[in-house]
């Protein structure tokens, strides 16, 4: 298909509560949405880059710039655009996977709407609902943490993930285990906050029966993760280190991880995310779907991805009200610890015009 034009929308959505990790605290989510228009319809994409380049080198202002000046013009010049050709068309621009992923998502949404096919069906869905975990940020105190985790347990979340950092690791994990027992599916996420000199401290997490420890070391230190794996019994899961199917295969071959977190934005899109899933499945490595505080658009696509057969662990595909009082789409609501996989054409959801207008701070239209 030929694109008629692309609209970039900047939106600002307050969080229901501050979300603190090892690299900072967010109380509002700055987001970049993409709407591609074709002669027969439209499609939506969501860029997951954060406001600042702390989780990764990408950030929302940079993503908007590279889309406006390089990526979108390349797509508009192309005579034939399909989701499977987006990566090839954009390949001359190095990196910027999150920006490219948002554009591929929008093109794929438009394609699938035109075919009356859902994201889940196109990706290879194996179920109509997925179990949901929730990510719990660093708190000011352990009593506060216990209260927050208790609320999520009561809500029915299938798994709890605790953000950790040096000085906030063993004690909060111990407190949650003691309060909620060994049956609670519990894991931790370090967001690269440790080094190999912290091996003795990380070994102290082993007795708590965690599902995994996510990305303890720097993203480029794959060999370091392989070394760490020889010293701890808790399975290592890689997040930031996995930027493609090839990097997943390399990490698995080196023994750097036993589990992989797949974030479509981080790997360049949902088609590459499916390839990461396939590589991990071929090696018997479980995967789960990570989250980046998405709106209902990104959440719909993530839930569809998480319904693939290799996603055997609950993901960070929490309900809309985990982060937002009002979503820009119809909200995703937890039902017995699960979310329904959208079955409508494309993403199966679209922005509610009034809700989108309320949070939009800027928009621009690009055409040929």
Going from N- to C-terminal start, the domains of the chain cover: 5-116+350-366, 121-340
Q: Average per-residue pLDDT in the chain?
A: 97
Sheet holding 186-189, edge to edge: 133-136, 159-163, 186-189, 213-214, 236-238, 259-262, 287-289
Query: Within its chain, how far is the Cα of 143 from the centroid?
Result: 28
Q: What is the pLDDT of residue 20?
A: 87
Third-level CATH fold of 5-116+350-366: Enolase-like; domain 1 (3.30.390)
Q: What is the pLDDT of residue 24?
A: 82
C-alpha torsion sign, points 157, 339, 87, 252: positive
What CA–CA distances, in Å, run from 88 to 57, 179, 268? 22, 51, 12
Q: Is 23 exposed, middle or buried (0-12, 13-18, 19+ CB in 10 A)?
A: middle
- pLDDT tens track for 207-224: 999 999 999 999 999 999
The residue among 254, 169, 153, 149 whose CA lies nearest residue 210 is 169
For residues 181 and 201, give the distance between their C-alpha atoms in angstroms, rounded to a whole number.
22
CATH architecture type of domain 121-340 = Alpha-Beta Barrel (3.20)
Active site residues: 163, 263
- pLDDT tens track for 66-110: 999 999 999 999 999 999 999 999 999 999 999 999 999 999 999
* Mean pLDDT score, 340-355: 97
The residue among 264, 267, 282, 202 whose CA lies nearest residue 235 is 202
For residues 313 and 130, give the distance between their C-alpha atoms in angstroms, rounded to a whole number.
10
pTM, full prediction: 0.95
Q: 355: alpha, beta or left, given left = phi > 0 and alpha = psi -120 to 50? A: alpha
* Mean pLDDT score, 306-314: 97
- pLDDT tens track for 9-57: 999 999 998 888 887 888 999 999 999 999 999 999 999 999 999 999 9
Contact 337, 132 (CB under 8 A): yes
Percent above pLDDT 90 for the chain: 96
Q: What is the pLDDT of residue 101?
A: 98
Radius of gyration of the chain (CA): 20
Burial 110-145 (b: 16+ CB within 10 A, else e): bbbbbeeebbbebbebeeeebbbbbbbbbbeeeeeb
Q: What is the pLDDT of residue 301?
A: 98
- pLDDT tens track for 172-210: 999 999 999 999 999 999 999 999 999 999 999 999 999
């Amino acid at each position: 298909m030929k694109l008629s034009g692309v609209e970039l929308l900047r939106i600002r959505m307050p969080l229901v509560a501050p979300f603190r990790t090892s690299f900072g605290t967010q109380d509002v989510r700055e987001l970049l949405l993409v709407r591609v228009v074709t002669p027969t319809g439209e499609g939506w994409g969501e860029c997951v880059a954060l406001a600042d380049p702390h989780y990764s080198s990408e950030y929302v202002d940079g993503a908007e710039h590279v889309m406006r000046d390089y990526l979108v013009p390349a797509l508009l010049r192309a005579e034939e655009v399909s989701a499977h050709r987006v990566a090839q068309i954009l390949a001359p621009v190095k990196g910027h996977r999150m920006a490219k992923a948002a554009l591929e998502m929008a093109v794929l949404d438009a394609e699938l709407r035109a075919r009356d096919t859902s994201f889940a069906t196109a990706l290879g869905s194996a179920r109509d609902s997925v179990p949901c975990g929730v990510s719990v940020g660093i708190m000011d105190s352990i009593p506060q943490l216990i209260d927050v985790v208790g609320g999520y347990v009561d809500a029915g979340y299938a798994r709890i993930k605790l953000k950790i950092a040096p000085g906030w690791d063993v004690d909060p994990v111990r407190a949650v285990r003691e309060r909620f027992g060994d049956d609670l599916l519990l894991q931790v996420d370090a967001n690269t906050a440790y080094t190999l000199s912290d091996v003795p401290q990380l070994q102290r997490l082993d007795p708590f029966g965690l599902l995994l420890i996510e990305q303890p070391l720097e993203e480029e230190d794959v060999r370091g993760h392989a070394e760490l794996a020889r010293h701890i019994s808790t399975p290592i899961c890689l997040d930031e280190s996995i930027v493609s199917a090839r990097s997943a295969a390399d990490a698995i071959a080196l023994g750097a991880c036993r589990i992989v977190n797949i974030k479509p934005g981080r790997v360049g899109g949902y088609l590459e995310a499916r390839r990461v899933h396939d590589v991990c499945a071929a090696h018997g490595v479980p995967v789960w779907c990570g989250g980046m505080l998405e709106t209902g658009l990104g959440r719909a696509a993530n839930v569809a991805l998480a319904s693939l057969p290799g996603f055997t662990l609950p993901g960070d595909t929490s309900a809309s009200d985990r982060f937002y009082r009002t979503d820009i789409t119809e909200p995703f609501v937890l039902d017995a610890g699960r979310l329904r996989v959208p079955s409508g054409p494309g993403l199966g959801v679209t922005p509610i015009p009034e809700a989108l207008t309320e949070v939009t701070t800027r928009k621009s239209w690009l055409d040929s």
